[in-house]
Chain A
Amino acid sequence: MNMMMGKATRKTEVLISIHEARLHYAVGGAFAAMRGKSTVVKAVDGVTFDIRRSESVGLLGESGCGKTSMGRLLLKLEDTTDGTIHFDGEELTKIQRKRLKEFRTRAQLIFQNPFDAVNPRFTIRQTLSEPLENAGIKRSEREARIIAALELVRLPEPAQFLDRYPHQLSGGQLQRVVMARALILQPEFVVADEPVSMLDVSVRAGVLNVFRDVRDRLGLTAIYISHDLALVRYVCERTIVMYLGRIMEDGPTEDIVHQPLHPYTKALVAAVPVPNPDQSHDPLPIGRGAPDPRNPPSGCVFRDRCPQAFERCAAEVPQPRPVGTRSVACHLF
């Protein structure tokens, strides 16, 4: 734990630096490419930001905006098509085999769907042993580490779960196991990809609180991916709003919630449901769904849904500009 405290004190230091990262998928395969019919989906398209040590960043956006792809890039589950990602000074695409193994102990993922994230044929003990085994931890020490990790995520009486199979656990219990697996090697950096979206509302708060507490206790650097502004606000000090693979707005969560600048962020804030069925809801300032990601609009990708779009938006891609505490990619600023 002393080591962890040492890390936490260096809070201003940049841990991850993303520069002009792109992740493009070719859709349609080799034959379509020959006929010139293949299209490229730009899941992440020129994203730049830094994450400091022990910072919690929320990646916010609707489905298909590239937030999960961004998370996968940060964990080197996918390599960037273009641009660079530096983790603690090391570029991820050029990382060597041996260093990659070390990276796998330092960066972890918490999954969206706990029922899919664990092998149904494995007991909880086997599931949690896998990372320990890969990290070369002796068999005799594993059991104690597993129990400690399960206690960390506040699974009551962890010993009784060890020889159970995933289908014998509830969603909340299983999500804690998934979190324990991510934390068992004491990583520095965790990506949480909508960790509560598959859970019953009644158990969400418990899992979220565990996540927050563990993060604070271990001084974790965290990325929290979600489409739900309220959850991001609960967990993260900083929020990055993404739309069709690009960053729209990036700044302190409270500022974004109270005074959204980008028209898209304004729409997101307006879309947060109010827990009162009688209260009338203003119609959203934007209509329709997101455009086909294979064929996004020219210039600003948001312009076809934007109520404030003007000629310049079609001609020129807006670059992120600092506005107060934030950076906003919109021609209005």
Chain B
Amino acid sequence: MPEIAVPTMARSRRANIFARMFRALKLPTNDPFAVAGLLIYLVFIITAIFADSIATHDPNEILYTPAYDLAADLRPGQEGFVMGTTSLGRDVFSQLVYGSRSALLIGITAAFMVALIGSVIGLVAGYFGRWVDTVLMRLADIAFGIPFLPFVIVLAAFLKPSIWNVVIAMALVLWRDTARVIRSQVLTLRSRGYVEAARVAGSSHFKIILRHIAPNILPLSFLYGSIAIGWAILTEASISFLGFGDPDSISWGYMLQDAFASQALAKQAYYWFVPPGVCIILVVSAGFFITRGYENLLFPKLGR
């Protein structure tokens, strides 16, 4: 019986790996705010994926009315444009839909980078301690000293203007918060008896980190990842609004900049700049709602 039992165990364990990872992430599904946040994300993710079929026009194309007039400054509903058009005759709705794509692309890659780099540095610094910890934490201190938005602008000056500047800047600077928190968590985990037991059992440092420590900090990485999504989208919007963004890719920040430069407020073209603003607010606050749910789950003593 044992000969048969071992391989079946192994297979069912592999089949369960996704279920187990999902459980390890501890998605905060019992907090109404967090569920709302997850739903908002879901809507935006679906929009971003199916942007090609949802958008009614090419967001960059200058459009004309059937009467061969430039379709500029049209109000929502006029000539079949759901959300109206910009001063140069581009469709606001399509820009909004494609904007979700770049927002989520930036948000998720930046979050992934921040969570990954921060977790690895936090794990290494906390686990090995001594000079490794000192070096990495002094680096974090330097990163804490860098003002973020000016840093992104300087980076945009050195590199070609691109939406990826934000991701690079976040990867270079914002790992600091994640690394600090994870390091402190690792410090408490490292002194647990079972970590010492693994050493006595002959496990390598790499194995101990991967097996005994990393699974315990995974929810924390995810928490900081979800904060980073909001940060990335907000930063990209700020950079684009300031005019340091990529002029070739449509983003919500770019829409705001375009509306601002075309004096949309004076023209009372609310349909032009309110939707991207609302989208930014929704996605960023959705990120913070999820964060909040995580906080309640990870630190129940905060009590809200």
Bound pair (A, B)? yes
Q: What is A's interface to B at a CB cutoff of 8 Å?
A: 30, 75, 77, 101, 104-105, 107-109, 111-113, 116-119, 121, 130-131, 134-135, 139-140, 143-144, 178, 181-182
Q: Which of B87-95, B139-147, B192-200, B285-293 contacts A (4 or more CB under 8 A)?
A: B192-200
Contacts beyond the supplied A107-B200, A178-B197: 4 A-B pairs with Cβ under 8 Å: A75-B200, A108-B200, A119-B212, A181-B197
Identify the B interface with A (CB < 8 A). 2-3, 5-6, 134, 192-194, 196-203, 207, 211-212, 215-216
Name the one of A108, A134, A143 contacting B6, with C-beta atoms under 8 angstroms.
Answer: A143
**A121 CA to B195 CA, complexed, in Å:** 13
Interfacial chain B residues near A143, Cβ < 8 Å: 2, 5-6
Closest residue on chain B to residue A139 by CB atoms: B6
Q: Is the interface of A mostly helix, strand, loop or mixed?
A: helix
A146: nearest residue on chain B (CB-CB)?
B2
Across-interface contacts of A77 in B (CB, < 8 A):
196, 199-200
Which residues of chain A are near B192, meaning CB under 8 Å?
116
Give chain A nearest CB distance to B183 CB in angstroms: 15
Which of A30, A77, A134 counts the most chain B CB atoms within 10 A? A134
- Residues of B within 8 Å of A117, CB to CB, are 193-194, 196-197
Q: 12 A–B contact pairs at CB < 8 A?
A: A75-B200, A105-B202, A113-B193, A116-B194, A117-B193, A118-B193, A118-B194, A121-B216, A130-B198, A139-B6, A144-B2, A181-B201
Q: How many angstroms between the C-alpha atoms of A143 and B10 in the bound complex? A: 13
The residue of chain B having its C-beta at the shortest distance from the C-beta of A142 within the complex is B6
The distance from the CB of B157 to the nearest CB of chain A, in whole angstroms, is 37
Contacts of B6 in A (CB 8 A): 139-140, 143
- Return A312 CB to nearest CB of chain B, in Å: 41
Note all chain A residues with C-beta closer than 8 A to B207: 134
- Residues from chain B with a CB closer than 8 A to the CB of A135 are 202
A79 to B215 CA separation, bound complex (whole angstroms): 29
Tell me if B202 and A111 are in contact (CB < 8 A).
Answer: no
Contacts of A112 on B, CB cut-off 8 Å?
Answer: 193
Bound-state Cα–Cα, A143 to B5, Å = 10
Neighbouring A residues of B211 by C-beta, 8 Å: 119
Q: Tell me how far the C-beta of B139 lies from the nearest C-beta in chain A, rounded to whole angstroms.
A: 16
- Whether A121 contacts B202 by the Cβ 8 Å rule is no
Smallest distance from the beta carbon of A83 to chain B beta carbons, Å?
21
Closest to A134 in B: B202
Q: Which residues of B contact A116 (CB under 8 A)?
A: 192-194
Q: B25: shortest Cβ distance to chain A, in Å?
A: 14
Contacts of B199 in A (CB 8 A): 77, 104
Q: Given A30-B134, A116-B192, is A101 in contact with B202 using a C-beta cutoff of 8 Å?
A: yes
